[in-house]
Amino acid sequence: MADSPTWSPETVTDATVTATLELWGNGITLLEALKETSFLDLPDEYKKLIGQNAGETINEKVRDILIAGTSVNYANSKSSRTALVTTDTLDLDDILDTVQSLETADAPMIGEEYVAIISPYVKTRLMKDTAFREATRYLAKDNSIFTGEIANIDGVRFVRTSTAPSIANSGSNSSVSYVEQTVILGEGAYGIARLLPGDFDVVVTPPGGHGDEYKVKTAIAWKAYLKAVILQQTFMRRLESAR
């Protein structure tokens, strides 16, 4: 007869994370006279603008939560933001060091990779770094750095956005005009609380709606009840560098 197991089942523990939802949104008004005299399909063009504004706004609201994370690396292995100087721009070594920090914390990947949110300035700095450029040359499609894509380097996929965070002379060395704040994310680093159903909605108010007694205005707006919250500080890193 087999012996009875000497171990006991583990007890799973959890922690409650709370977030107060915020109502975000924006809108525009299209006047009847402009709509009827324009050569453009203004309702369609305005809907595109509304969609772009919604995407950028939600992006920035989530970004503002993520950059408040407490897990930070600095370019060239500097010890603090105040130690950064103008030559401390991002390079391949900084990416490798940051990935090491994530791996040491057992931060799980998002699928098969970490995701780095970078600005156009950081992208340019990386592509000017000889080591990064050579690695990309072998990994990019068609063996070229001119495909418009940045290859997966050391398990990191790079996503460029103009809304990536940066700060102007905020505690950095006086010679650094801007500090770039690249955010590298693992699975479960943050979450987004939503109001369901209807957490995102596009509202079109036809002529004659609220405050339009003469029926000459069409209002187009978007709204969302959302709030981002950091779930695990060590599953993400903020990588600060000089622009």
pLDDT tens column, 94-115:
999 999 999 999 999 999 899 9
* The pLDDT of residue 172: 63
Helix-helix angle 92-104:130-139, to 10 degrees: 70
For the chain, the average pLDDT equals: 85
pTM metric for this prediction? 0.80
Cβ–Cβ under 8 Å, residues 204 and 10: no
In Å, how far are 7, 189, 200, 224 from 196, measured between CA atoms? 42, 22, 9, 10
Domains of the chain with CATH codes: 22-61+192-229 (no CATH), 72-188+230-242 (3.30.2320)
Q: Is the pLDDT of residue 39 over 60?
A: no
* The pLDDT of residue 100: 96
* The pLDDT of residue 37: 61
* The pLDDT of residue 217: 86
Cβ–Cβ under 8 Å, residues 96 and 131: no
Which band of pLDDT confidence, cut at 50, 70 and 90, is reported for residue 175?
Answer: confident
Which SS3 state, helix, strand or coil, does residue 59 take? Answer: helix
Q: Is the pLDDT of residue 78 over 90?
A: yes
For the ranges 36-45, 136-145, 232-241, which has the lowest average pLDDT? 136-145
pLDDT tens column, 114-156:
999 999 999 999 989 988 888 777 665 544 444 445 667 888 9
* The pLDDT of residue 174: 66
* The pLDDT of residue 151: 64
Q: Is the pLDDT of residue 27 over 50?
A: yes
Tell me how far the alpha carbon of residue 54 is from its chain's centroid: 14
- Average pLDDT (167-188) is 85
Which band of pLDDT confidence, cut at 50, 70 and 90, is reported for residue 70?
Answer: very high
